Amino acid sequence: MAPVQLSDEEIKARRRKRSIAIGLALGALVVIFYVLTIVKMGPAVFDRPL
């Protein structure tokens, strides 16, 4: 397939969309790790030598 040259605006738009997707994925990971910690350990999270 012949390569299509993209305009600068189109490139920027794609990068922006990729950044948003990566941001959402990272955000989801943060939430998952937070909730998993609570679910799996519960109050025992605090039960450790400080």
Positions that interact with another protein (CB under 8 A):
1-6, 10-11, 14-15, 17-18, 21, 29, 32, 35-36, 39-40
CA distance 5 to 20: 23
Question: Based on CB atoms, which residue is closest to another protein, 30 or 50?
Answer: 30
CB 45 within 8 A of CB 37: yes
Least separation, in Å, of the C-beta of 40 and another protein? 7
Least separation, in Å, of the C-beta of 10 and another protein? 8
CB 17 within 8 A of CB 25: no
